[in-house]
Structure 1
Amino acid sequence: MKYTIILIVLINIFILSGDAYSYKQLYPALEITTHYTEENPASAAPLLRWNENTKAVYYELEVFDKIPDRLSTNSVSAEHIYFTNQVFVNAFNLPIAEITEGCHKNLYWRVRAMDFDNKPVTNFSALELLYTDGHPSEINSPVTNTNYNHGNGSVLLYPVYQWIPNAGAVKFEVEVLSAPPENPNGTEPSMYRIFSSTIDFSCEYYDPHSRIGTYYWRVRGIDSDGRPIGVYSNAERFSNEPSADYQVGIFGDSISHGGGHLSYSPADFEFSYSSYLNFPSINLSESGDTIEMMVNRFDKDVLPFAPRYLIIMGASNSLRAGVSADKIIIGLKILQQKCQENDIQPILLTLPTINPHNINKIFTESTSSNWPYEFNKVNNYIRTRVHIDTAAEFPVPPEILPTEFALDGLHLDDNGKAIMGHTINENWSNVLAQITEDNDEDKVTVTAKEMELFRSIPDVYDL
C-alpha cells in the first residue's frame, strides 16, 4: 500500500521533471517566526528565523531600509541594501551593524526557499518590519541546533553536529569532549577535548568516529584571518550508552544513517526513517559505507550494544559503483551469521531503486550500467530471508527513483523516509512472528569458499 504524504501547496499541484523540480505552482510563502518590535527591539546582530521548507536546498534573504514602491513576490528586488543566498538552515544571524554602519533605523526583510537549480521553491515571505536599537548582540557564537536523545530516531552512533553560523564567521572549529567543558562559552580549547576539526563555511560536520558512551560537543566561528569570532557555543550532550539496553539497532549506510535533499543531514530527523518507527532504536549506520565496510565494522559498532533485533540495509553505494551482487549477497550472509553467533535477530530491508541521472547531476558520480540487474538480484535474495520489503513501495529497476522522492537520486527525502518507516511499522509484528516460528530454518552459514570470494572481489567505489 502506498504511503501518501499530503503537501499543502498553493493549488496542491506541482510538476516534477525527470531531473529536477519544475513547479507549476510554488509552495506557500515562508512564515517568519521571529518578530522585532519597539517593545522587543533587535540587537546589532539579531537571529532571524522562519519555518523550514524541506524542499529547500538554500534560502535567499533580502533586507531593505524602506518599503519599496514596487515589490515582486517572486523575484529579487534591486532596492535591497543587503542580500545573501548563503543560507542553508531556516535561520540567519544578520549583521545589522555592518549593513547600516551603526545607524539605528527600521529595516525590513524577507526570505524565500530555493532549489538546486536556483529556482524558487516558494515566493518571498511577506515583508517583515525589523526594529532595532543597536544594543550589543547576545549571540556571540554559532547556535547549535541538534536535539539528540529526544525521541525516536535521535540516537546516532555516528553523530552529525549542526549549527546556525554566527555573523562574520567563514570557518568553524568543532570540538568533541569527554566531559562538560571547564570553560563554558570560553575562547580556549577544553582540557576534556578528545577530537577537533576545522572546516570551511558550513552548517554541519559528520563525525568520522563512532561514539560509544556519553560525550559533549561545541563549535566556534573563525574569521578570514583565522581568529576566533566570539566564543565556543553551549556544549551539547549526547549519549550512546550500551547500558541503555536498545532492543532494535539500525545498521547500514547513508540511506539508513539519514539525511537527504542535499541540505539535510542525519541530525534532521524527518529525513531518517527511524524517526517514523513506532518503537525506539539506536542508529548504528555510517554514511558512505560499502558492504565491506559494514562487515568490517560490525564487531566494533554493533556488538557493544547487543540489540535483540538488527535492521540491516546497505550496499547501494557498492552496487551503483559496479560491485557485483554476488559480493553483496555474501556480505549480507556474513552479517546474518555474525548476528546469529551473537544472539541477534537480523532483519533485512530491500533496497529502493535509484536515479543515476540525478546522482550524476548532484554528485558528478557515474553509476554502473548493470545496476538494475544487480539491484534486482540482491533484492531477490533478500526476499528469501527474514525481511521487510521497503523497495516494494517504489518502482522496480530499471525504473528509476522519481525525483519527488529523492532529489539526489539516492538518498530518499523526508517523504520517502516516511514511506520506509510506515512500511516497517506495518510489517513489524509479522516479521517478529516469523522469527519466532522459523528461527532454526533461517540460519545462515558462510562457507570458506564464499568468504574467499567476498575478499577477492574488489570493493570498488569510484567507477
Structure 2
Amino acid sequence: MEWLRSMIKRKVVWLALTMVVVSLSCFLLMVQHEAHSGLLLSPPSELTASSREEPLSYSPMLSWSKDTEAVYYEVEFFASKPLLLSATSDSEAAIFRSYAIFQNHYNPPLRQFAAGYLGKEPLYWRVRAVDFNGNPCTPFSELAELWTSAEVAPLQAPVPLTDYNNGNGSVLLYPVYHWLPLSEVTGGYEVEIYAGNPAKPEEAQLLDTLRSDVAELYDPNPRYSDRDLYWRVRGLDQEGEAVTQWSQPSRFRTAPSDDWQVAVLGDSISHGGGHYSYGPEDFEFSWLRSLGFAAINLSESGDTVQMTLSRFERDVLPFHPQYLLILTGSNSLRAGEEPDVVISCLQEMQRRCREHGIRPILLTLPAINPDNIQHVFKEETVPDWYNRFARVNSFIRTQVHIDVAAAFECPERVLPTVYAMDGLHPDVMGKRLMGRAVSAAWPKAKAQADKEWEKHHVRENP
C-alpha cells in the first residue's frame, strides 16, 4: 500500500505542477496579447506612495501622472494582491471601483468600503485612463500599496490646483478656479474672490462669492485689478453649511498696470481647454502657451462674435494693448449666422481698435468637425458651415492677419479628430500648432500692423 500512496502523491504533485505551468502559460499569453493590443504604451505612473512607515490618512488624496489624452480615469481597489491580474480588464477581485474621475486626483471614501482595513492592513489600488466613449486608452497602472493610519490628519480643506501667472498663457481675464474635490462634500463648493490676501483681513476686500456643484468654476466676470487678486474655496453639505475649512488663498494677478503689449480676444478656442474634460486652467490646452512672446488672454468661453464685440470697451480698453489678436466667429457661423454679420462685427472691432490706438490683427478660423461636435456636445451644425467659414476667412486674409487655419491639414475639409476630439476645440497638439503658427508669423504680422496703423493715423491726422 505504501507504493500506491507514493505513486498517487507523485501524480498529485505532477498534476499540480502541470496546472501551475498551464496557468503561467495562459498568463504569459495574455500579457503578450496585451502588449500587442496598443494599450501597453503609457499606463499612469507616479502613483501616490505610502508604506507602513509613512502611511496616509483614512481619507487620503491619491494622485498619478496627468494624461492629456484621457477624458476620465477608472480606479480599482483591492484587499490583497490578486495572483493573476490583467492590465487591460476590470478585475472581479476588486472590492471597490470608481469611474468618471475627471482629474488625476481622487479622494476615495475608504470608510465606506474598507473600514475594516484602515490602520491595520494595506489596501492596493491601480488606475487607467479612459476615452470619451468609455474605452480604455491605457492599461492599468502597476498596483500601489495604500497604508493608512488614524494618526495622519486628513485634508481639512480643498486644495487649489490652478497655477496662474506661471508662464505664457497663464494670465486670464476670465479665470477658471480648479481644486481637489473631497468625498465628504455633498452640497457643492463656495468660492470667494478677494483683492488682497484674505489671510490678512485688514488688507483684503471681498469682491465676490460664487457657488459650484463640481470642483471647477468658470468665473462669469472679468477679474482685473492693480492689486494682487486671491481666491479660496470650501466644501458645503446639502443644507449649504460648511463641512470643510477654507483652502489656502491662491494668488493671481491680472493688472492693467503691468503694461501688456499684446492681448488676445476671442472665444473658447482662445480661452483654452479641450478634449471634453480640460479647461482653460489646463494650460497645455492653450495656444498662448506656445507663443514666443507674452500676451494676456482676454477671451471668454461661449462667445459669439456679437458677444466678443460687446465686451470690447469693458475688457480690452482697461489694458490698452499695443496689439490685439482677434479670433472669434466660429460659434456664430456653426449655428447659422450669416458671414456678412460676422465680417461686420470684425470690422467694427478693427475700427474701435484704431480709434483707441490699438493695432488689430485678425486670425483665421480653424475648420471644425460637425460629426464630432454632435457626438460630444449633442449640438447641430449648419450643413453649409464650410462655405460660411470660407467666406469669413477670405475676408480675414485681405486684412492684417495670421493664418492659423492653414496650420491644420484637413484633407476632407473637416478638422481631423487627431487635432480636436470634440470637433471644435483643438487639443494639445492642435493648440501647439496654432501657437507656433502665430509665433512664426508674428514679426511679419506685427510689421504689417504697424504700417497699417501709420497709414490710418496719417489719414486721420493729416
TM range (shorter): 0.7 to 0.9
Deviation at 1:133, TM superposition (A): 2.2
State the secondary structure of the residue aligned to 1:38. Answer: coil
Deviations 1:362-389 (A, max 9, x none): 1111111121111000001100111110
Deviations 1:28-70 (A, max 9, x none): 1110342111221111111111110001111001111100122
The alignment status of 1:196 with 2:213, answered yes or no, reads no
Q: State the partner residue of 2:221.
A: 209
Letter in 2 for 1:208: P
Deviations 1:241-282 (A, max 9, x none): 100000110000000100000111000001000011111111
Matches of 1:361 and 1:119, distance apart in 2:
15
Matches of 1:259 and 1:27, distance apart in 2:
24
Deviation at 1:398, TM superposition (A): 6.6
Question: 1:251·1:312 contact (CA, 8 Å) conserved in 2?
Answer: yes
Letter in 2 for 1:59: Y
Distance 1:242 1:65, change over 3 A: same
Deviation at 1:225, TM superposition (A): 4.9
Matches of 2:335 and 2:59, distance apart in 1:
46
State the secondary structure of the residue aligned to 1:134. Answer: coil
The residue correspondences of 1:18-29 to structure 2 (distance < 5 A) are 24-25=38-39, 27-29=41-43
The total of aligned residue pairs comes to 416
The residue correspondences of 1:431-450 to structure 2 (distance < 5 A) are 431-441=445-455
The residue correspondences of 1:93-112 to structure 2 (distance < 5 A) are 93-101=107-115, 103-104=118-119, 105-112=121-128
The residue correspondences of 1:56-455 to structure 2 (distance < 5 A) are 56-101=70-115, 103-104=118-119, 105-170=121-186, 171-181=188-198, 192-200=205-213, 202-213=214-225, 214-395=228-409, 399-441=413-455
Matches of 2:428 and 2:126, distance apart in 1:
26
Q: CA RMSD in A?
A: 2.1
Matches of 1:384 and 1:27, distance apart in 2:
46
Q: State the partner residue of 1:461.
A: none
Matches of 1:345 and 1:255, distance apart in 2:
21
Deviation at 1:416, TM superposition (A): 0.4
Letter in 2 for 1:212: Y
State the secondary structure of the residue aligned to 1:43. Answer: coil
Question: 2:271·2:298 contact (CA, 8 Å) conserved in 1?
Answer: yes
Larger Rg: 2
State the secondary structure of the residue aligned to 1:392. Answer: helix
Looking at secondary structure, tell me which structure has more helix per residue.
2
Deviation at 1:96, TM superposition (A): 2.8
Deviation at 1:138, TM superposition (A): 3.7
TM-score by length of 1: 0.86
Matches of 2:456 and 2:342, distance apart in 1:
18
Letter in 1 for 2:196: A
Question: 2:410·2:416 contact (CA, 8 Å) conserved in 1?
Answer: no
Q: State the partner residue of 1:455.
A: none
Higher mean alpha-carbon deviation, 88-97 vs 292-301, is at 88-97
Question: 1:46·1:137 contact (CA, 8 Å) conserved in 2?
Answer: no
Matches of 1:243 and 1:49, distance apart in 2:
38
Higher mean alpha-carbon deviation, 249-258 vs 37-46, is at 37-46
Letter in 2 for 1:424: V
State the secondary structure of the residue aligned to 2:100. Answer: strand
Deviation at 1:325, TM superposition (A): 0.5
Deviation at 1:293, TM superposition (A): 0.8
Matches of 1:327 and 1:216, distance apart in 2:
39
State the secondary structure of the residue aligned to 1:434. Answer: helix
Looking at secondary structure, tell me which structure has more strand per residue.
1
The percent of aligned pairs where both chains have the same amino acid is 45
State the secondary structure of the residue aligned to 1:220. Answer: strand
Letter in 1 for 2:359: Q
TM-score by length of 2: 0.86
Please list every run of 5 or more consecutive structure 2 residues that lacks an aligned counterpart in the other structure: 1-36
Deviation at 1:98, TM superposition (A): 3.4
Please list every run of 5 or more consecutive structure 1 residues that lacks an aligned counterpart in the other structure: 1-22, 185-189, 446-463
Distance 1:286 1:346, change over 3 A: same
Instruction: Say which structure, 1 or 2, has more relative contact order (CA 8 Å, 6+ apart).
Output: 1
